[in-house]
Structures are given as C-alpha cells and as structure tokens.
Amino acid sequence: MNKTTRLVVLIVILLGANVQLALLSHGRSIPLRQEFDKFPNEIGGWSGEDAGSLTTGEEKVLRADDYLLRSYRDSLSHVGLFVAYYRSQKSGDTMHSPRNCLPGNGWEIAKSEIIQIPSKNRSYATFPANHLMLVKDGMQQEIIYWYQANSRVFASEYAGKFFLVEDALSKNRTDGAIVRLSSISGAGSAQTHEQMVSFATEISGVLPSYLPN
C-alpha cells in the first residue's frame, strides 16, 4: 500500500468514526476515581509541584472535564506532566493530539516515533507511547504522550476513534484521557530521554488510581 492509498484509507476511517460518534449520545459521564488534586507530589524519587492553570482560552479549546498540570524534578531532570480527562466525548468534543496544537504554537516536529515504555501497571508489561522531538527558535522540546480509556493504553489516534465508538455502543461510555510529558531543559540528550521514560514508568503505576478502568 503506497502513501497516497494509506492516507485515503485513514481519512475514510476517521470520517466513518466521526459520523458514527456524531450519531451517538455522549454516553454516561464517568468521574475520576480520585480528584487530581490528590495526585502525589512525590513519585519514585521525583518531587512535583503545581504548574499553575491553563488560560481561559486554552481551557475552551481543550474542553476537558478535569486536568492535571504539574512539574516534576529528580536529581538530573525536569519533566512537565499534563493529564486531560474527558468524562464523556462526542464528535467535535474529543481529545486533542499534541501533533495538532504544538505546530500551531511555532514548534516544528523534527522526529516522530512510537516507543514502548516499561510499565508498573500489573495489567501489562509495557505500553506504547508517541515520542516527538520538536524545534523552535534554536530550542528543542521532547514530548512523550499516550492515551488511556477503559483499561486500554494506546498511542494511535486512529485506534482511539474505533475504541471510542466501540465503547459507546457496547458500554455507553466515551470517557478517556491523554497523558503528556514534556521537557525543554536539556532536551535532545540521551539522559533526558531516559529520565522521561523512567518517569513515565513511575506514573503508569499511579494513574489507575485516578483514571477509571
């Protein structure tokens, strides 16, 4: 399958999923298992603190029901943690991919891949995540992000559309979350990447206490 054919197939898939989702109700509103203000500041050798709030404009674009914005440090690195949770979703009111919003803020994607991260969740040994390297005005930013919905952890936005429709039809629920880690200080170094992966592993064991299964 060449690139043009693959692109057409993906467009058809997304359009089909959006049409199906538009015909469905929002589904049950599924609250967090615990509020994000109880999310620990100390996680596996990392110390965190609140990183403020999104602007009113950002919140309107995000349309999340709950979100967590923290900054964590260990002896080597600094990592920003952002989790946006949607109690129910519908077409036009779903999770936003960083691939769409970051380039709009002037960042250019220099590298994009899917990586496997060791997990502390007993349900799976590793989980897939998107890994992006971005550049802007001589700066570099490293991003690792993934999605969680109904006990699933996945990297693909396309798979997420299918899961969303499937869960709406079979379970009357369309809740989900995006988890994003970011680092600008020292970004691009092997050490920074290793520390971000290490932090992702640590929070994989914490998130199930907050995100619904």
Q: Which residues contact 16 (CB under 8 A, 6 or more apart)?
A: none
The sign one gets for the Cα dihedral 209, 162, 96, 102 is positive
Tokens of 24: 């469905």
Number of domains in the chain: 1
Instruction: Over range 190-198, report the average pLDDT.
Output: 89
Tokens of 89: 């979703």
Query: ∠137-115-121 over CA atoms, to 5°?
Result: 120
User: For residue range 32-59, what is the model confidence (pLDDT) as tens digits?
Assistant: 999 999 999 999 999 999 999 999 998 9
Structural domain harbouring 118: 3-209
User: For residue range 165-175, what is the model confidence (pLDDT) as tens digits?
Assistant: 888 888 888 99
CB 12 within 8 A of CB 160: no
CB 58 within 8 A of CB 67: no
Which of 59-63, 74-78, 99-103 shows the lowest per-residue confidence on average (mean pLDDT)? Answer: 99-103
Work out the mean pLDDT of the chain and round it to a whole number: 85
The sign one gets for the Cα dihedral 108, 112, 118, 124 is positive
